[in-house]
Structure 1
Amino acid sequence: MDWKKPGLPGLARFLHRLVDEPLPSRAQKKRAKERYRDKKTANQIMTTVCQFLRFGGQQGWVEAETINQLSEQKHMAYLPPGFDPGEDGQFRTIRAKVIKFEVAVEGYEWLNPEQFAQILGLTRRARDRFLVALLAGTGMRIGEALGLRREDMHLLSNSAGLGCQVAGPHVHVRRRVNSNGALAKARMPRSIPVTNELVTFYADYVFERDQVPEAADVDMVFVNLFRAPLGRAMTYHNAKDLFDRLAKRAGFPARPHMLRHTAATTWIRSKTPRDVVQNLMGHVSASSMEPYVHATDADKREAVERVAALRKAQVQG
């Protein structure tokens, strides 16, 4: 295929090949189970390909005719929460991808209190226990947690001596360039209060960390303590491996971002004002809070029975 003139049929064949061809096996065994990409991943790859072709068009490598075939005009009949269609609806017409798989929108996953307690109990090291508790207690993204510096940990009852006027134990989330590639998505810095239990978990972790000389002068909070290179800042890959192991022991999915959803859902269900939760999560738009409202079977049954009781009372009245 000429990459400068792939054509719609060629790109369609490439998209299907992404899900039809098995991925290289990670295992050495000949009978290792074949792995395949899902359609969502294939769509993400196709998005990257199209963006590269558009870049090629700007450089004069790819013809404008090819670029015009990558998307088509689409009128949005239904708008996502918070979307501004414009005074005359002029923003309802967008450019949408032509070649993609139709993928159902996935629900946001979170851990209920029993599942979280099980995951926390399965941690075998103080560092891992602190990381799990921090994500669930603060709603941080994993990139924000891995990007923490020790100077961000203001865990005294009064941090005035550190030049900080925020009351009580808290942590600061700041957007920086980090050696481990961790990045805080939110551009605006914020502080998040933490509980005394989380302070205790951190103290246990500091004691464990102090046993590794290579970690002594490292400013990053989360570092490698149990495998080489010792003292180096933990990466996304390290965190994923940790959660994969915990999920395998627990027998149900457990990923870092699920704990962010767990924190937000817990706050909302405990009647915390939405604007407070929005600030804790580092969201700019209030509409970003909608996915974190998880209705349980008990919630739905309570709602139905409440209406039934109200109607019964009205009839009797």
Structure 2
Amino acid sequence: MSIISGMRCRGDRAMTTFRSFPVRLPSDFRYWTVLDPAYRVVVEADDFLLHHRMGRDGAESTSQSYAASLALFFDWAASIRKPWRESAPYLGRFVYWLQHYRPDQVAARRTAVVRGPRRVNAIMAAVRSFFRHAASVGQLDPEVLGVVYDSFDTNRVNEAARGARYHRASARHRLSEPDSPIVNAAGEDVAELIRAARNARDRFIVIAMWRMGLRRGELAGLRRSDVHFVPDASQLGCGFRGTHLHVVRRTNPNGAWAKSRRQRVVPADWLTVQAYDQYIVERDRVDPRGRSDFLLVNLFADPVGTPMRPGGINEVLVRLSSRAGLVRPVHPHMLRHSFATNVAEHGGTADVLKELLGHAWISSSDVYLHPSPERLRAVVERVPGPRTTGDGQ
């Protein structure tokens, strides 16, 4: 399929564009694909996006982001009138195009930066992943990958298709990203969110993410059967002692997705259990039939009783942040960062964080180990000074 079919241009401005599009299969499985300007599926992109969605880390949100990135890539390739398979030598121009292209501006006026380094790098990561997959299934000459990576062995195409760390580290066309501080949700801000919540469900969402470090996709994907908030879970067939819940990766109709393939257990403290109990009482009152096994359901908007989508958690936090008058809105990952920081500051080591947060590699937890200036000073001041000898020297 030609990627420039159906593209009409006025100068260098595309009248129609490639676009990302959601697909729902009869099984309720959702993923995103790419349509060309004539509303036809771009077959190679569709093959890659479905393969990625069904793979190890195939969250629907990632599928959506990748589809949007590939739509931009195909738009650019059409603008330079190159089939995508022949575009690799020009990817440096694509990076510049991403930084400055905006559909409502003519080329002569494209001076402002439209996309920053972080967004450009994310788009390029999607394009590289697409190239790797295409090479692995015979849709692209593996030699082309030598243009995409600084070091590439054509005998390792299958490893490249799996996203081997070696190839991620040697990728070309990567912009330098400015260091940005990790932003936690301060304890005072979390308290304001809890006070701003007008129902038990929203309070439980804030407390569960803050006290358990759950990702939004993990929280939205929980089933009631995953929650073991009882002193002795042996009656539930579980050998883990104390109140806890199980994070399980499933394909969920609400698009929720647990990033880690490995099931993990997260302990729950009394504050989380109390918030949960209050939420269940509220849920049983508003939705007495309770037909959904999903833990989080819509209670205050139609259709009542249906599972909340992960994006609904963001909407809850935005609404609470506004109601609380916070200068910076709190988003889900800020609560996860706060949980990890609190665990680290109270003696939690990297291996503990790895298990609690569901990371595959212990090094992935390093980003959460960012001690405060006060903690750094306290550690330095605890180091003893030189001891004097018996003769006073």
Q: TM-score normalised to the size of structure 1?
A: 0.78
Identify the match of residue 14 of structure 1 among 84, 87, 94: 94
Give the corresponding residue for 1:115. 189
Give the corresponding residue for 1:279. 355
Give the corresponding residue for 1:4. 85
Q: 1:157 to 1:314 in 2, by over 3 A?
A: same
Contact 2:341 2:371 survives alignment (8 Å)? no
Counterpart Cα distance in 2 of 1:274 and 1:65? 40
Q: 1:63 to 1:38 in 2, by over 3 A?
A: same
Percent identity reads 31
Q: 1:103 to 1:275 in 2, by over 3 A?
A: closer
Identify the match of residue 217 of structure 2 among 125, 143, 150: 143
Greater alpha carbon shift after TM alignment, 199-208 vs 212-221: 212-221
Give the corresponding residue for 2:173. 99
Q: Name the aligned partner's letter for residue 5 of structure 1.
A: E
Give the corresponding residue for 2:317. 243
Secondary structure at 1:191 match in 2: strand
Give the 5 Å matches for 1:145-224: 145-213=219-287, 216-224=290-298
1:81-111 deviations in whole A, cap 9, x for unaligned? Answer: xxxxxxxxxx989762222322134443222
Gaps of 5+ in 1: 25-33, 75-90
Contact 2:185 2:334 survives alignment (8 Å)? yes
Give the corresponding residue for 1:70. 148
Secondary structure at 2:85 match in 1: coil
Q: Name the aligned partner's letter for residue 185 of structure 2.
A: L
Counterpart Cα distance in 1 of 2:252 and 2:350? 31
Give the 5 Å matches for 1:292-311: 292-306=368-382, 310=385
Q: Name the aligned partner's letter for residue 127 of structure 2.
A: V
Identify the match of residue 38 of structure 1 among 98, 116, 121: 116
Q: Quote how far apart the aligned CAs of 1:301 are.
A: 3.1
Q: Quote how far apart the aligned CAs of 1:8 are.
A: 3.1
Q: Quote how far apart the aligned CAs of 1:198 are.
A: 1.6
Identify the match of residue 52 of structure 1 among 130, 137, 141: 130
Counterpart Cα distance in 1 of 2:172 and 2:87? 14
Counterpart Cα distance in 2 of 1:61 and 1:281? 37
Q: 1:310 to 1:253 in 2, by over 3 A?
A: farther
Counterpart Cα distance in 2 of 1:35 and 1:179? 38
Gaps of 5+ in 2: 1-80, 105-111, 153-164
Contact 1:168 1:193 survives alignment (8 Å)? yes
How many residue pairs are counted as aligned between the two chains? 289
Contact 1:174 1:188 survives alignment (8 Å)? yes
Contact 2:149 2:167 survives alignment (8 Å)? no
Contact 2:88 2:144 survives alignment (8 Å)? yes
Q: Quote how far apart the aligned CAs of 1:219 are.
A: 0.3
Q: Name the aligned partner's letter for residue 177 of structure 1.
A: T
Contact 1:19 1:42 survives alignment (8 Å)? yes
Q: TM-score normalised to the size of structure 2?
A: 0.64
Counterpart Cα distance in 1 of 2:265 and 2:136? 42
Contact 1:215 1:225 survives alignment (8 Å)? no
Secondary structure at 2:250 match in 1: coil
Q: Quote how far apart the aligned CAs of 1:303 are.
A: 4.2
